Amino acid sequence: MSRTVLEAVDAARGHWGFRVSATLLSGFVLLALALLALATGKYPVSLADVADVLGHRLLGLPARASATIDTVIMKVRLPRVVAALVVGAALSAAGATYQGLFRNPLVSPDILGVSAGAGLGAVLGIYLGLPVAPIQGLAFLGGLGAVAVVYGIGLAVRRQDPVLTLVLAGVAVGAVLGAGISLLKVLADPYDQLPAITFWLLGSLSSVSLGDVGAILPMMLLGLAPLVLLRWRMNLMSLGDEEARALGVETRVLRPILIAGATLITAAAVSMTGVIGWIGLIVPHVARLLVGPDYRRLLPASLALGAGYLLAVDLIARTAATIEVPLGILTALVGAPFFLWLLAAGRRRIA
Amino acid sequence: MREFALGRGEALACALGLLLASAGGTLARPFTDAAGRTVELPDRIERVLPAGPPAAVLLYSLAPARMTGWVSAPRPEALPFLEPRTRTLPAYGRLTGRGGTANVEGVLAAKPDVIADSGSLGPTYASLADKVQAQTGIPYILLDGSFASTPNTYRQLGAALGLQAEADALAAQAQDLIDGVAKAIGATPQDQRPRVYYARGPRGLETGFAGSINTEVLELAGGRNVAESGDGRLGSVSPEQVLAWNPDVIVTLDPAFATAIRTDPLWRDIKAVQSGRVYVVPQQPFPWFDAPPGINRLIGLRWLAGLLHPDLFPEPMPDVVRRFYQRFYHVGLDPEQAAALLRSTVPDTAR
């Protein structure tokens, strides 16, 4: 008896020890990446400048770097780094959640039409010639509205498989919203508005401000909270409705909560950055290959991997050429081949 | 991008078009357009349909009485600057280029004697012209839309429409304007020419790289495009890239953007903003700098040259505007209108 208790304590210590070191390690990697990102870009800034500015801002040391360098680091790069970390983490967590909820590995955060709705909102704003803030507001509302419509259809159409109904409704609503986007593109001024619409839809962090990040951060936290707090129940949800209910999980209560959380963070991210594909689809798979399918570990791993991945991709996007390479293009170009390689190399673990 | 496969309705329309063309019975004469295509034109041309926005501006300036319609309806703000007859003409949409929107049967119903397009002479546009011509049975001429060939394009269009004298006059005036600017600026060495950033899009972070049709006027007006290392297309850039370029002058189509950057910390440090040299392009009845890149840029060339090199252009701009609008746009502006056109476009900080 006492031996088994000791073994259990040992196992727990090993388990916690592993988790602490993994958390520390990923924290260090993210911090190093963030510092590298702060020191890299089109405007020449040295690591010493970064140290100066951070020392001045955080520790109140005398400012030695020029005002422009301060602007570059604090107003251009820092918001970008923070936004990349937050958005990458959020999209990956949302993807992991949706994949569990829908018990389908092909699901990404825009399965219920968030991106299409947000895209239509933003395009409408550009078409009407609105300033940036209302464009972002319209995108956010569009994303939430699209999912609300899809969910409403799911409630109204009482089929045997509520998950399938949601997915099909998401496809249909997404198609209608996509048609709306295309219509506005056709009506837009081809020499001025059309390029603006195209660039907006491709996804970029190029003009993110701390104000933007501050505006979406509460929504991100609000959306992430239920995902993180209920992550062990997601293990049960991913067994399917009947099994989950047999184990005492109220799927009818839990599902809308999780969908609302994942939708909120996706809509907040897309309204600020435009559509950044592939992260929410791929990062959870990579995390699953690394830590296994248990959501208690899968969700934190997805958060950390997503944050680091988007930060790295954004670093490429803003340094590779004079123009900004749209993030959605890079995430697909970098992510898909890496994913295929991982799939081939790690096929035994998937099986 | 657009397919010209013949549907049943279009085949019918095509047959109808051929019937109309042959029933007209006017004498045909061969005409070689700028792409080297030889087209049979009727002897008398009363009705001309522009295929895209640059062609519409070109046609309006030469022969407003012969226009069958606009590509897109003029905005209400543009109406006071258009000849009364043309204010109520219908809009038929774009016939070629990205996102063509014209309805072929609608075009046939307009009964144009000829369709005129102005823009790229590349094989794509030449073959598109052939297809539309084959489909509608209406002769389709393609003219060179590059800015430098404006005088020649006028003469060619004049030859096609039988308006040689009027076209020669406009060609000569266009040539005078281009030569006058070139001569005044010619002596200014490259390194003394202001460095200009062309800001597009709601955030001002899209730009035309050197060599793009959107910025042709910039260099002719004696400026240096800071975005020189692209491939001559539109692209988006990051704020720190603009900071690194630190342009002397910013030109934009968007008044809201020009107002916003005066207080925006991202832009505040830029030389152009500090010295108040942020200029909003006048928009009516056609934008002066771009959108569309047509002959509407002629007045923009003189405007921008005057702003970049005020000492070299002593003649008051309102006088130049009134003369240009009288000759090219067929409207007489009173001095107050001309001044308002210019005043509404330069933010308060500048002069």
φ/ψ (deg, to 5) at A291: -120, 0
Can you give the pLDDT at residue B1? 36
Of B200, B237, B243, the CB nearest to A322: B237
Residue of B nearest to A127 (CA): B202
Residue B77 backbone phi and psi in degrees, to 5: -65, -25
Which residues of chain A make contact with B99, given a CB cutoff of 8 A?
185-186, 190, 194
From the list A209, A186, A242, the residue with the least C-alpha distance to A76 is: A209
Task: State how far the Cα of B351 lies from the Cα of B336, in Å rounded to an integer.
Answer: 18
Residue B265 with chain A: CB contacts under 8 Å: 71, 75
Number of CB atoms found within 10 A of residue B325's CB = 20
Tens of pLDDT, residue by residue over B25-70, are: 456 899 999 999 999 999 999 999 999 999 999 999 999 999 999 9
pLDDT at B4 over 50: no
Contact A37, A24 (CB under 8 A): no
Q: Between A318 and B7, where is the model more confident? A: A318
Chain A, nearest residue to B253 by Cα? A192
Residue B227 forms contact with A (CB below 8 Å):
yes
- The amino acid at residue A270 is V
Which stretches within B229-270 are classed as H helix?
Answer: 239-245, 255-260, 265-268
8 A C-beta contact, residue B33 and residue B157: no
Position B155 scores a pLDDT of 97
| Under 8 Å between Cβ of A249 and A255 | no
pLDDT at B348: 52
Compute the distance between CA of residue A278 and CA of residue A259 in angstroms, rounded to an integer. Answer: 19
Interface test with A, best of B238, B263, B266, B268 (most A CBs within 10 A): B238
Nearest to A43 among B240, B253, B287 (CB): B240
- B73 part of contact set with chain A, CB < 8 Å: no
A189 residue type, one letter: D
Sign of the CA dihedral with A230 first, then A235, A236, and A239 last: positive
Helices (H), ranges, chain B: 8-24, 53-62, 84-87, 104-109, 123-136, 150-161, 164-186, 216-220, 239-245, 255-260, 265-268, 271-274, 297-308, 317-329, 335-343
**Quick one: what percent of chain B has pLDDT higher than 90?**
68
Task: Compute how many other C-beta atoms are within 10 angstroms of the C-beta atom of residue B195.
Answer: 17
Tell me the C-alpha distance between A205 and A207, whole Å: 6
pLDDT of residue B5: 44
Contacts 24+ apart (CB under 8 A), B333-337: B333/B81, B337/B80
Task: Quote the pLDDT of residue B317.
Answer: 94
Asked if B253 and B283 count as a contact pair (C-beta separation under 8 A), the reply is yes
Task: Considering only the beta carbons, identify the residue of A42, A67, A323 that sits closest to B269.
Answer: A67
The per-residue pLDDT for B135 is 84
Secondary structure string (H, E, C) spanning chain A: CHHHHHHHHHHHHHHHHHHHHHHHHHHHHHHHHHHHHHHCCCCCCCHHHHHHHHHHHHHCCCCCCCHHHHHHHHHHHHHHHHHHHHHHHHHHHHHHHHHHHCCCCCCCCCCCCHHHHHHHHHHHHHHCCCCHHHHHHHHHHHHHHHHHHHHHHHHHCCCCCHHHHHHHHHHHHHHHHHHHHHHHHHHCCCCCHHHHHHHHHHCCCCCCCHHHHHHHHHHHHHHHHHHHHCHHHHHHHCCCHHHHHHCCCCHHHHHHHHHHHHHHHHHHHHHHHCCCCCHHHHHHHHHHHHHCCCHHHHHHHHHHHHHHHHHHHHHHHHHCCCCCCCHHHHHHHHHHHHHHHHHHHCHHHHC
Q: Which are the contacts of B145, defined by CB distance < 8 A and separation ≥ 6?
A: B54, B118, B119, B120, B153, B213, B293, B294
Counted residue by residue, chain B has a size of: 351
- The confidence score (pLDDT) of residue B255 equals 87
| Spatial distance between the Cα atoms of A246 and A250, rounded to a whole number of angstroms | 9
pLDDT of residue A8: 54
**Would you call B239 and A207 a contact, using CB atoms and an 8 Å cutoff?**
yes
Contact partners, residue A42, CB within 8 Å, separation at least 6: A318, A319, A322, B238, B240, B241, B244
The pLDDT, as a whole number, for residue B256 is 86
Q: What would the mean pLDDT of B189-202 be, rounded to a whole number?
A: 94
pLDDT band at B132 (very low <50, low <70, confident <90, very high): confident
Q: What mean pLDDT, rounded, does chain B reach?
A: 88
Distances, alpha carbon A139 to alpha carbons A124, A143, B184, in Å: 9, 6, 48
DSSP B167: H
Phi-psi region of A62 (alpha: psi -120 to 50; beta: other; left: phi over 0): beta
Interval B96-119 mean pLDDT: 82
pLDDT at A238: 80
Q: What are φ and ψ of residue B115, in 5° steps?
A: -105, 135
- A205 contacts A86 by C-beta, under 8 angstroms: no
Beta bridge partners of residue B98, listed in sequence order: none
- Token couple for B172: 């000569």
**Closest CB from A135, A199, A323 relative to B230:** A323
Contacts of B289 by beta carbon, 8 Å cutoff, 6+ apart = B198, B217, B251, B253, B281, B297, B300, B304
Give the contacts of A311 (CB within 8 A, at least 6 positions apart): A30, A33, A34, A37, A81, A84, A85, A88
From its phi and psi, is residue A105 left (phi > 0), alpha (psi between -120 and 50) or beta? alpha
Enumerate the residues of chain A whose CB falls inside 8 A of the CB of residue B234: 195
Give the three-state DSSP class for B225: strand
Encode burial over A214-226: b for 16+ CB neighbours within 10 A, e otherwise: ebbbebbeebbeb
Residue B351 has pLDDT above 50, yes or no: no
Could you identify the residue written with the tokens 């949601």?
A166
Q: Give yes or no for residue B229 having a pLDDT over 70.
A: yes
> How confident is residue B344, by pLDDT bands cut at 50, 70 and 90?
low
What is the mean pLDDT of the segment spanning B173-198?
Answer: 96
Kindly provide the ipTM of the predicted complex, given to two decimals.
Answer: 0.82
Please name the member of A67, A185, A209 whose beta carbon is closest to the beta carbon of B99.
A185
Number of A–B residue contacts, CB under 8 Å: 111
Using a CB-CB cut-off of 8 Å, the residues of chain A touching B201 are: 195-196, 199-200
Q: Strand, helix or coil at B44?
A: coil
Q: Residue-wise pLDDT tens for chain A (351 aa)? A: 445 554 555 555 555 566 677 888 999 999 999 999 999 998 988 889 999 999 998 888 888 888 888 888 998 899 999 999 999 999 999 999 999 998 888 888 989 999 999 999 999 999 998 888 899 999 999 999 999 999 999 999 877 788 889 999 999 999 999 999 999 998 888 888 888 898 889 888 988 888 899 999 999 999 999 999 998 888 888 887 788 888 888 888 888 999 999 999 999 999 999 889 899 999 999 999 888 889 999 999 999 999 999 999 999 998 888 888 889 889 988 888 887 887 787 654 443
Query: Who has greater pLDDT, B350 or A239?
Result: A239
Higher-scoring residue by pLDDT: B7, B180: B180
- Looking up tokens 């996706």, which residue turns up? A266
Please give the pLDDT value at position A277: 86
- Report how far apart, in Å, the C-alpha atoms of A8 and of each of A18, A19, A141, A295 are: 15, 16, 49, 21
**Which pLDDT does position B120 carry in this prediction?**
87
Asked whether A279 and A91 are in contact (CB, 8 A), the reply is yes
Q: In chain B, which residue's Cα lies nearest the Cα of A67?
A: B269
Asked whether the beta carbons of residue B240 and residue A135 sit closer than 8 angstroms, the reply is no
Q: Is the peptide bond before A284 cis (omega within 30 degrees of 0)?
A: no
Residue of A nearest to B234 (CA): A195
Enumerate the residues of chain A whose CB falls inside 8 A of the CB of residue B251. Answer: none
Query: How many Å apart are CA B299 and CA B255, to the nearest integer?
Result: 19
Query: Do A295 and A234 form a contact (C-beta atoms < 8 A)?
Result: yes
Q: What is the CA radius of gyration of chain A?
A: 22
Question: Which range (A57-71, B126-140, B334-348) has the least confidence?
Answer: B334-348
Question: To probe the interface with B, which of A38, A40, A43 has the most B CB atoms within 10 Å?
Answer: A43
d(CA B221, CA B290): 14
Which residue reads 């030109």 in tokens?
A: B251
The verdict on a CB contact (< 8 Å) between B237 and A191 is no
User: Which residue type is seen at A197?
Assistant: I
Helix (H, G, I), strand (E, B) or coil at B251: strand
Look at the block and give the residue holding tokens 């009506």. Answer: A187
